[in-house]
Amino acid sequence: MKNLLWLQGGACGGNTLSVLNASDPDLFTFLFTHNVKLLWHPSLSLDNNITQILNDIISDRLHLDILIFEGTVIMGPNGTGMYDIFAGKPMIEWLRKIATKADYIIAVGSCASFGGIPASEPNPTESTGLQFHKKDCGGFLGKNFKSRKGFPVINLSGCPVHPEWLLTTLLLIIEDKLSQEDLDEFNRPRLFYSTTTQFGCPRQPYFTYKISTKELGHREGCLYFELGCRGPYTRSSCNNILWNNQSSKTRVGTPCMGCTEFDFPSFNFFKTEKNRSGIPKRLPLGVSRGSYVTFSAVAKASAPQFLLRPLVRKGKGDWIE
């Protein structure tokens, strides 16, 4: 049996709600099938015996296999942690003690991983991630922190995390199948963070031929060139492992906001910032400016005509370019 504890810091609860959306298996079936005991969860537990549980873990009366932390670590004001008081103490005091007792620690969501929205400028709550602050390794627990099994904090970034990413990671841990080589430079499982959001996006043909949609509200056209889609340089599996079994942001015409990356939220959403020659400031992952320019010219010239018109409905489609 594995003991699992779920705590929330500066959180919106979105990761919790996201995990409740898990379907095959659902959260409770998963816990039951794999013999995991949920020691406590702020929204789900019947009893309010969390102080007891925390003290038992700290005094080694209770073994903690996996700690899941959702939300930012709130250090403010002035490093006191008083903006987030939990069970009578600043959450950071609990966290400091509990972290040394857990075999594995998982940061769910971009807040716990990198600081997310609360840690963005001017960071009024002095928020940080468990082991990263934005792109810098360190965060609350420090660069050299290892949980009892020798792992760094495993980051499952995303705002929120996809339930399948979390349950699969839990299963890998429970079955002892996760190794440190499986994690990327931000300590995220490569399994879910090696592709970009573009993988599986139905707009990919438009991206290939550099065909843009100039306004929201349409199926056709790629959202990268004008509308600020971060899909080409955001590592996620959102278009491969669909959300709520149905869809993804780019599939419904919402630009990718880059929510799995350390710099989320990078602001100025819904528009593409360009340099003076009209080239997007942020280029697709791994593509140089020179090859982007050359490739774009060729691609644009080779664009198939049917992609320049609405696919299903009649009309000119003057939003396609």
* Binding-site residue ranges for [4Fe-4S] cluster: 12, 111, 159, 201, 222, 229
User: Exposure string (b/e) for 207-216, b if CB count within 10 Å is 16 or more?
Assistant: bebbbbbeee
Greatest Cα-to-Cα distance within the chain, rounded to the nearest angstrom: 71
User: Residue 6: helix, strand or coil by DSSP?
Assistant: strand
Please list every residue from 276 through 295 that binds another protein, using CB under 8 A: none
Annotated binding-site ranges:
12, 111, 159, 201, 222, 229, 238, 256, 259
Q: Is 312 in the site for another protein (CB under 8 A)?
A: yes
Residues 140 and 129 sit within 8 Å (Cβ to Cβ)? yes
Query: In this chain, which of 133, 210, 235, 249 binds another protein, going by CB under 8 A?
Result: 249
Residues 222-281 within binding reach of ligand SF4 (CB under 6 A): 222-224, 229, 231-232, 250, 256
Q: Which residues contact 268 (CB under 8 A, 6 or more apart)?
A: 228
| Residue 97, binding choice from ligand SF4, another protein, none, Cβ under 5 to 8 Å by partner class | none
The single residue among 33, 59, 61, 216 that binds another protein, judged by CB under 8 A, is 216
Rounded alpha-carbon distances, angstroms, from residue 227 to 39, 49, 259, 281, 317: 44, 48, 16, 13, 17
Residue indicated by tokens 């209770």: 62
Least separation, in Å, of the C-beta of 15 and another protein? 7
Q: What is the rounded distance in angstroms from the CA atom of residue 289 to the CA atom of residue 281?
A: 9
Report the residue from 121, 175, 181, 185 that binds another protein according to the rule CB under 8 A.
Answer: 121
Q: Which one of another protein, ligand SF4, none interacts with residue 238, CB within 5 to 8 A by kind? A: another protein
> Considering only residues 92-111, where is the footprint of another protein by CB under 8 A?
none
In the list another protein, ligand SF4, none, the entry touching 252 (Cβ below 5 to 8 angstroms by class) is: another protein
Q: Both tokens of residue 163?
A: 């339930």
Structure tokens at 171: 């299963």
Residue closer to another protein, measured from CB, 116 or 232: 116
Closest to 218 (Cα-Cα) out of 127, 99, 316: 316
Please report how close the Cβ of residue 192 comes to ligand SF4 at its closest, in angstroms: 16
Question: Which are the contacts of 205, defined by CB distance < 8 A and separation ≥ 6?
Answer: 307
Q: C-beta of 32: minimal distance to another protein in Å?
A: 8
Q: Which of residues 171-200 bind ligand SF4 (CB under 6 A)?
A: 197-198
Choose which of 2, 101, 203, 235 interacts with ligand SF4 (CB under 6 A): 203
Taking residues 152 to 181 in sequence order and writing x for each that binds another protein by CB under 8 A, - otherwise, the string is: -------xx---------------------
Burial (CB count <10 Å: 0-12, 13-18, 19+), residue 204: middle
Q: Which of 27, 53, 66, 183 binds another protein (CB under 8 A)?
A: 27
Closest CA to 260 of 231, 226, 303, 302: 231
User: Pick from ligand SF4, another protein, none: which does 105 bind, CB < 5 to 8 A by kind?
Assistant: none
CA dist 10 and 185 (Å) reads 24
Tokens of 217: 């509200």
Q: Which is nearer to ligand SF4, 13 or 205 (CB)?
A: 205
Q: How far is the CB of 212 from another protein (least distance, A)?
A: 14
Among candidate residues 39, 109, 106, the one with its CA nearest the CA of residue 72? 109
Q: Give me the residues that bind ligand SF4 (CB under 6 A), please.
A: 197-198, 201, 203-204, 207, 222-224, 229, 231-232, 250, 256
